Amino acid sequence: MSRMIDRLAESGSGCFVRCVGVSDSYLLDIEELDRRFEGEGYLRLNKLDTPTNSDELERLRKESEEFAESFEGARLLALYRESVSNLNPSIETNLITSLLYWSKLLGSRTGGVLIYCGKAGYKEYLFCYLAYMKGWRVLMLMPEGEGKLSSVLTEKSELITLGMPYAVQIPAYVPPRPVTPPPLRQPAPRTYPSTPQADNTRYGTPPREYRNGPRPNAPMRGDEGNIKVTIPPRERRNGPRPNAPMRGDEDNIKVKIPPRPRSKGSSNVPRQTRRAEDIPFDTHSDIPTVENNFTPIPKRDNSPAQQPYNSRRELSSEEIARLAESVVMITVCDKFGDMIGSGSGIVINADGYILTNHHVINKGSYFLARFENDRTAYPVQIVKYNNVHDMALLKIQRRAKPLRLYRNKQTDLVRGQKVIAIGSPLGLFNTVSDGIISGFRVIDVTDMIQFTAPISPGSSGGALLNTYGEIIGMCTGGAKEGQNINLAVSCRMIEPFIMNFI
């Protein structure tokens, strides 16, 4: 259970875990989950109700056709068809209707923590997978076991075994009530005496009342002329300063300024004889200083991806061109297996994780990844995506050499900096082109890099590299009306998206 809590806490951009069986402290650990993640964006559901209102059902059926053609709906339907046999249009419509109804629980958020501990059937599992695709951290509690879920679905989530299967009643989650501040205390109305002081005069104003009673020896109102103010001497926190003059005796104060002490080790060196080269100064230079005790990190191999920042070097054009082995061509197929387009992708993890654009995969049903000098076409699984920033993460069953992401916080990318683009424009496998950074733009809410290296349709999802062979962006598109006005998603947007996979 502690592994599960750590998995939820560390995965900032989505995870999907199913916990099978019951541990000794099962209910106490669920309470710990509620305390750890409670608040906005936390859901713990014991059941998922079905819609019963006829008007609501009619509205959902009308929306089901549009949802079935969307990326999420097509993906979920494809998994359902692979998992269940003897389907008909009515069963598929009921599935989509339920998913649409339950998706209202997620709202418009693109992230949060969802704990589901109710019935775990195909519909419920696909709803949790939908939440995971939307960026939620999802945990399915299965105390009685996984049931009859197919391997097509279970491979979409991680498995943590807590103990033996056992039927247990999990209490419903009660969200914390918002704390309302106490009402402000109204002061009691002040009363005035009703007896006049003298003829032709107004009612007198009573003396001011203090919370702890009248001040001792306090003058009454109207006696201001006889008040004598005596200012006591200032008391120091740690007692009076020795031989300190009293207040009012300022004329007799004699100030002595002690001689300025010299720094340690320079008692015999007069101040006037210090040399100019001994005085520290700021150089404002872009060249980093090197300390004498610096020990370089040994390289594991000669690939640029394995070189640490402190020992990295600029690569030649031929060396950068060889990095094309870490950029793949993605073939997009429809539900019949026919090719309808292609794009590019970047290997970011040696276990076969590939980064590409969301618009490369949003109209396809099946996808294949191809490498240089490898005739095998590898089937692709979609791990997660972000359609706002146009990013998607894929997975294949193959080891590959990853490219390193530019994460140097000390220096920023600048205009005029040389860049290299690697992709498969118009299906031409791994074309290499160079240019410069010509600007930085914000398109909608996405940070983009404008560059001049030529790209074409099919380059989407390809790598934009600096001269050190590091990913500084992902090629996304360009202006049709202009020339060499191309855009790439910035590495600043990519880093949080793939943080848990690099």
- Report pLDDT for 254: 52
Tell me the two tokens of residue 22. 């019951």
- Report pLDDT for 283: 32
Arithmetic mean of pLDDT, 394-406: 94
| Backbone φ, ψ for residue 476 (5° rounding) | -125, -45
Residues 99-118 have pLDDT tens digits of: 999 988 888 776 788 999 98
Q: How far apart are CA 137 and CA 433, in angstroms?
A: 39
Pick the more confident residue, 150 or 488: 488
Bridge partners (DSSP) of residue 470 are 404
Q: How far apart are CA 40 and CA 30, in angstroms?
A: 18
Q: Is the pLDDT of residue 153 over 90?
A: no
Structural element, H or E, at residue 407: none
Question: What percent of the chain has a predicted confidence (pLDDT) above 70?
Answer: 70
**DSSP designation for 226:** G
Q: At how many degrees (to 10) do helices 122-133 and 89-102 cross?
A: 50
- Report pLDDT for 118: 87
- CATH class of residue range 2-161: alpha beta
pTM of the model: 0.47
Arithmetic mean of pLDDT, 400-411: 86
Instruction: Decide: residue 155, CB within 10 A, 0-12 exposed, 13-18 middle, 19+ buried.
Output: exposed
Count of Cβ atoms closer than 10 Å to residue 170 Cβ:
15
pLDDT-derived band at 269, boundaries 50, 70, 90: very low
Pick the more confident residue, 12 or 343: 343
- Report pLDDT for 291: 37
Tell me the two tokens of residue 157. 């989530």
Count of Cβ atoms closer than 10 Å to residue 134 Cβ:
22
Topology agreement, domain 2-161 and domain 321-395:
no
pLDDT-derived band at 200, boundaries 50, 70, 90: very low
- Report pLDDT for 288: 37
- Report pLDDT for 266: 45
pLDDT-derived band at 401, boundaries 50, 70, 90: very high
Tell which residue, 357, 355, 346, 354, has the closest CA to residue 465: 346
Residues 226-237 have pLDDT tens digits of: 555 455 555 555
Q: Is the pLDDT of residue 301 over 60?
A: no
Tell which residue, 349, 380, 357, has the closest CA to residue 457: 357
Structural element, H or E, at residue 69: helix 54-69
Q: Is the pLDDT of residue 293 over 70?
A: no
Place of tokens 């009673």: 213
Beta-carbon contacts of 307 under 8 Å, excluding residues fewer than 6 positions away, are 299, 313
Do 44 and 34 touch, CB atoms closer than 8 A?
Answer: yes
- Report pLDDT for 69: 82
- Report pLDDT for 486: 94
Q: Is the pLDDT of residue 396 over 50?
A: yes
Arithmetic mean of pLDDT, 211-219: 55
For the chain, what is the radius of gyration of the CA atoms?
36
Q: Give the end-to-end CA distance of the chain in Å, rounded to a whole number.
A: 25
Count of Cβ atoms closer than 10 Å to residue 432 Cβ:
18
- Report pLDDT for 15: 82
Architecture of the domain made up of 405-501: Beta Barrel (2.40)
Arithmetic mean of pLDDT, 329-357: 93
Q: How far apart are CA 54 and CA 164, in angstroms?
A: 42
Q: Is the pLDDT of residue 138 over 50?
A: yes
| CA dihedral over 145, 149, 153, 154, signed as positive or negative | positive
- Report pLDDT for 403: 96
Query: Where along the chain do its domains lie?
Result: 2-161, 321-395, 405-501
- Report pLDDT for 466: 95
- Report pLDDT for 234: 59
Burial 97-132 (b: 16+ CB within 10 A, else e): bbbbbbeeebeeeeebbbbbbeebebbbbbbbbbbb
- Domain 321-395 sits in which CATH superfamily? Trypsin-like serine proteases (2.40.10.10)
| CA dihedral over 264, 267, 268, 272, signed as positive or negative | positive
Length reported for the chain: 502
CA dihedral 339→345→347→348, nearest 10 degrees, is -130
Q: Is the pLDDT of residue 418 over 80?
A: yes
pLDDT-derived band at 216, boundaries 50, 70, 90: low
Q: How far apart are CA 150 and CA 154, in angstroms?
A: 6
Residues 17-61 have pLDDT tens digits of: 889 999 888 888 888 888 888 877 889 999 898 888 888 888 888
Structural element, H or E, at residue 356: strand 353-356
Q: Is the pLDDT of residue 264 over 60?
A: no
Do 486 and 453 touch, CB atoms closer than 8 A?
Answer: yes
Pick the more confident residue, 81 or 40: 81
- Report pLDDT for 212: 59
Tell which residue, 146, 142, 61, has the closest CA to residue 101: 61
